[in-house]
Amino acid sequence: MDLPNHPDVAFEYVKALKECGYRWLLVQEHSVEALDGHGLRERHLPQRLVARNSCGEEVSIVAAIKTQGSDTKLVGQMQPFYEAQTLQRREVAGVSIPPLVTQIGDGENGGVMMNEFPSAFRQAAYRHGNEGVVAANVTEYLELVEQAGVTEGMLPACLPVHQGALCSHTSPPGSRAPPTRPWRHSSASGRAFAWRVARGQTTSVGSGDMRTS
């Protein structure tokens, strides 16, 4: 999924997800960046996605990083499994954890899932039992990471792309002057926007306001 890069909207979006009970989200590799503005150094580790609004408030949520492009053929041929075979365990705050490879597809496409996936899955499942590559959903993986002693606060941190640059348009934390914002909206409207996204409705941003399309 993509992320809103306006600081206030990103903050309300992540806040709304957590209020709805979400523990993690899956993001495109290029939709987030390290705190120093560079690309991610560890795309095969879960990250602590930090959203910071124009008032300096922060909220964070665990983000699993989707690598590669969104391609049904890669999923159908079990590309994540073979990518995982090339990786070694990573160390986070002194704790060794396995890397995470995630991938998505856009559904059936040219008969790949119907014709190629079954045999590819059986072959990968057979090799998985002999080569130590474990298949698990993201929630199961994060639970294993927590059991190993790694908490959300220990994970590498990242930001939505360009959020830091947009924050330069606002007043610094602690300033008495009201923040100036690239577009007009109240915190309440930002929260409504986030709740609509969390509920799966399509949203669009107009010039100076927000509306549901």
How far from 85 is each of 17, 30, 100, 129, CA to CA, in Å? 33, 23, 11, 12
Give the model's pLDDT for residue 69: 61
Give the model's pLDDT for residue 131: 59
Task: Write out the chain's pLDDT in tens, 213 residues.
Answer: 568 878 899 999 999 999 999 999 999 888 899 998 898 989 999 999 999 999 999 999 999 998 766 678 888 888 888 888 889 999 999 999 999 988 887 777 778 888 888 898 888 877 766 656 666 788 999 999 999 999 999 999 999 987 755 544 443 444 333 343 333 333 444 444 444 444 544 333 333 333 333
Give the model's pLDDT for residue 210: 36
Give the model's pLDDT for residue 212: 35
Give the model's pLDDT for residue 185: 38
Give the model's pLDDT for residue 2: 67
What's the CA gap between 167 and 161, in Å, rounded?
12
Give the model's pLDDT for residue 174: 43
How far from 93 is each of 51, 153, 189, CA to CA, in Å? 22, 10, 38
